[in-house]
Structure 1
Amino acid sequence: MSLDARSRARLKGVHPRLAAVTERAAEITPVGFIVTEGLRTRARQAALVKAGASRTLNSRHLTGHAIDVAAVVDGKVRWDWPLYPRIADAFRRAAAEQGTALIWGGDWPRLRDGPHFELDRKAFP
């Protein structure tokens, strides 16, 4: 598999290391995915907080250090939780291959966010 043109366009402004991990993850994932969002404006982030879709105005999306994806099965976007750990495994493998420190939102103890991947702040402040 590979990323479609729309997903690649959504990687514009995203840190090159995260974009590279995303490209590689798309090649090796057992579950297809699209990139739904990368770099965000402050206005977009504020709107997401207001709508309850985010809890922070200090998102890694604001600096291009985070992306969100959506699973695609049989041409349809799916949000079923069991799909996202499988996608995360591909991201982890890609990140390990490239030596990129990556955080998956699905590993967070509170407010797990399966579609979210970001560069580790310790390595990419």
Structure 2
Amino acid sequence: MNTGIEKFDARSRRNLVGVHADLVRVVERASEITPVPFVVIEGVRTAARQAELVKAGASQTRNSRHLYGLAVDLAAIAGNEIRWDWPLYFKVSDAMQRAADEEGVPIIWGGSWRKFKDGPHFELPRNIYPDPNP
């Protein structure tokens, strides 16, 4: 769906550097079909950045899939600004799941987790895409 907003900007492309090619394909396809524009706010993270997020309470693990390029965080855009309203993330998730199905790539949405719901987070499953040995 074309909303007139540049959904896949230079920042998003930069933040996909080092992310697994399967996940990049899903994100790119989702950006074409989503009713809610989004930007990629984080792909690969350093261990230091992950430790900062754990300390701030924004993450609950030091062994994030972001460390290995197996996760991305997407931020919904509404009214030309990043928004954190949950209804927007359900729509982004629907686009990501549809794109994943089309690409034949399984994904996990952080918004479906039981304890620590993370609407912007999407990752490849560990059983199919294991963490490389650090």
Same fold (TM over 0.5): yes
The yes-or-no answer on 1:118 pairing with 2:120 is no
Query: Amino acid of the residue matched to residue 40 of structure 1?
Result: R
Letter in 1 for 2:74: V
In 1, distance between residues paired with 2:114 and 2:56? 22
- Alpha-carbon distance between aligned partners in 1 of 2:58 and 2:19, rounded to the nearest angstrom: 20
Q: Deviation of residue 123 (structure 1)?
A: 1.3
Segments of structure 1 that go 5 or more residues without pairing to the other structure are: none
Q: CA offset at residue 74 of structure 1?
A: 1.7
Do structure 1's residue 86 and structure 2's residue 91 form an aligned pair?
Answer: yes
Aligned length: 125
- The gaps in structure 2 that reach 5 residues or longer are none
Deviations 1:15-55 (A, max 9, x none): 01001100000000000000000000001101111111111
TM-score by length of 1: 0.97
Q: Residue 9 of structure 1 corresponds to which residue in structure 2?
A: 14
TM-score, with normalisation over the residues of structure 2? 0.91
* Partner Cα separation in structure 2 for residue 57 and residue 12 of structure 1: 21
Q: Which runs of 4+ in 1 moved over 4 A?
A: none
Out of 88, 91, 106, the position equivalent to 1:101 is 106
The SS at the match of 1:77 is: strand
1:60 to 61, 65, 73: 65
Which amino acid is 1:91 matched to? M
3-state SS of 1:114 partner? coil
In structure 1, the residue matched to 2:54 is 49
Q: By how many angstroms is 1:122 displaced?
A: 1.5
Aligned-residue identity in percent: 60
